[in-house]
């Protein structure tokens, strides 16, 4: 008996199953992550549709879009049906999403909780594959005056320049500091080094009547606050 050939082209699907048509007719919120990625890549491989290929890519990162955003162009090109152009499109789209979250964070001008600090810095450091240490400078109304990266690549006593932190605080006229760094491993437990750096900065700042209000450890979706846990 002759085998019936099957086409994996989206063109042969019903309009209800086509991601682009579905978005136009029913809105963006109804589409799955795989369908949104399928729109980006346009087509799949000879043996699977764009949606099925997108599902396979998502499955490789446990359906986590944050993890997908960490994949390089070369890693994406390991999937059959994903060439350089498609890989670049996926990377660009996810980077746009990350920058959009960063712009939302800019709206936070006054810090009234540790959650505000998390929302302010997570878009910048929450998904990085390496550690970065940041300082948020506040005025006497707890409004953000400035935020800046202090070190990159790891956290040790030698990488945290207390003099630089306090020099900038004095230049800005800041009266409060919030320390923050990310843990790419995802662990929220502060290390001995984390606690030592916090104490070092806190003691030095107090001599200039500047308060260290908190220290946050930030991951992709969660954070640990020294102040909230009464260990500041």
Higher pLDDT, 154 or 40: 40
Residue pLDDT, tens place only, 94-127: 888 777 766 655 555 789 899 999 988 998 888 8
C-alpha span between 101 and 15 (Å, rounded): 32
User: What average pLDDT is seen over the chain?
Assistant: 85
With cut-offs at 50, 70 and 90, classify the pLDDT of residue 6: very low
Residue range 17-71, pLDDT digits in tens: 688 888 888 888 888 899 899 989 988 877 888 889 999 999 998 888 878 888 8
Distance CA 143, CA 64 (A): 33
Predicted pLDDT at 4:
42
Q: What is the pLDDT averaged over residues 212-225?
A: 94
The whole-number pLDDT of residue 108 equals 58
Is 70 exceeded by the pLDDT of residue 15? no
Checking if the pLDDT of 10 tops 70, the result is no
Domain coordinates of the chain in residue numbers? 10-103, 110-225
Q: Is residue 170 very low, low, confident or very high in pLDDT (cuts 50, 70, 90)?
A: very high
The radius of gyration of the chain from alpha carbons, rounded to an integer in Å, stands at: 23
Q: How far apart are CA 45 and CA 77, in angstroms?
A: 12
Distance (Å, whole) CA 157 – CA 192? 11
Question: What is the fold, at CATH topology level, of the domain defined by 110-225?
Answer: Cytidine Deaminase; domain 2 (3.40.140)
């Amino acid at each position: 008996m002759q085998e019936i050939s099957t086409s994996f082209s989206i063109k042969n699907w019903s309009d209800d199953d086509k991601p682009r048509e579905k978005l136009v007719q029913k809105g963006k919120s109804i589409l799955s992550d795989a369908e949104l990625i399928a729109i980006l890549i346009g087509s799949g491989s000879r043996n699977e549709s764009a949606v099925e290929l997108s599902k396979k890519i998502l499955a490789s990162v446990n359906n986590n879009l944050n993890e997908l955003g960490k994949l390089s162009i070369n890693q994406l090109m390991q999937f059959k049906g994903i060439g350089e152009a498609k890989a670049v499109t996926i990377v660009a789209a996810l980077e746009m999403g990350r920058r959009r979250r960063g712009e939302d964070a800019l709206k936070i001008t006054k810090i009234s909780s540790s959650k505000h600090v998390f929302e302010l810095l997570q878009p910048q450091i929450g998904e990085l594959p390496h550690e970065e240490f940041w300082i948020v400078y506040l005025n006497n109304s707890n409004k953000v005056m400035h935020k800046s990266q202090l070190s990159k690549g790891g956290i040790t006593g030698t990488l945290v320049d207390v003099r630089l932190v306090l020099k900038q605080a004095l230049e800005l006229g800041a009266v409060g500091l919030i320390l923050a760094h990310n843990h790419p491993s995802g662990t929220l437990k502060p290390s001995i080094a984390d606690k030592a750096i916090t104490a070092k900065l806190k003691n030095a700042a107090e001599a200039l009547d500047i308060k260290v209000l908190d220290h946050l450890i930030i991951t992709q979706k969660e954070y640990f606050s020294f102040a909230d846990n009464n260990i500041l």
